[in-house]
Amino acid sequence: MATPTTTPSTPTHTDSRPSTTHSTPGTIPPPTFTFDLNTNKYFHLHSGNKAIIDLLINIDFNYFHKLVMKTHVEVSSSRRKQRRAHFSAPSHIRQRIMSSTLSKDLRKKWGIRSLPIRKDDEVVVVRGARKGSKGKVIQVFRKKWAIHIDKLTKNKANGAPYQLPIHPSNVAITKIKEAKDRLARIATIVAGVNARKGNADKKIRTTN
């Protein structure tokens, strides 16, 4: 009597994700999955709507992500390029980046919120370990993105004092150095603010 022969069963792996082609038009595939932009992974979609599945399949998520994040045509949205442009900025660009907020009294007086910091400005530290300290700016160290304040010092191991570097964003200007070029700079900023708000003086054209 011949004994029946049995073939060993091989495990099979079935991909439950939706395929790009469907054999029968109008049919809905079994358990459906969709794509997550944050984790770049598929997650289960309980709805079996074929229109939604086809839409998710045909979307280029990388292009969609770049399209949403892009805010300016001439400025890259790449984090790498933004950091490189920031830390390799020339001195005249660093002057504008190294701006500090103005105190409430100065905001009312000049009508602006911030101003590039410079030597001889009187400031107060508004955040950090030295919060509340006041003093006069004795140096603007653009290479290190820091300023030095006359009363903020610390001693080395041998007793020699050195200036503590403070970032301009951590201080508020309480009294500005009213030099001729500084006043011209403030006038330019105020004109730009008024133009954006629609309060700029309109030029009257003459026929002469």
Residues 45 and 34 sit within 8 Å (Cβ to Cβ): yes
Residues 146 and 165 sit within 8 Å (Cβ to Cβ): yes
Does the pTM surpass 0.85? The reply is no
Q: What is the pLDDT of residue 198?
A: 79
Distance CA 66, CA 78 (A): 9
Q: What is the pLDDT of residue 90?
A: 96
Q: What is the pLDDT of residue 11?
A: 52
Q: What is the pLDDT of residue 50?
A: 57
Strands (E), the chain: 32-36, 41-45, 99-102, 114-116, 122-125, 134-141, 146-155, 161-166, 171-175
- 194: its two tokens: 């008024």
- 24: its two tokens: 């029968």
Q: What is the pLDDT of residue 195?
A: 87
Enumerate domains of the chain plus CATH numbers: 30-88 (no CATH), 97-197 (2.30.30.30)
Please report, in tens digits, the pLDDT of each residue of the chain (208 residues total): 556 655 555 554 455 555 555 545 555 555 555 555 555 555 555 545 555 556 555 555 555 555 555 667 888 888 999 999 999 999 999 999 999 999 999 999 999 999 999 999 999 999 999 999 999 999 999 999 999 999 899 999 999 999 999 999 999 999 999 999 999 999 999 998 888 887 666 555 555 4
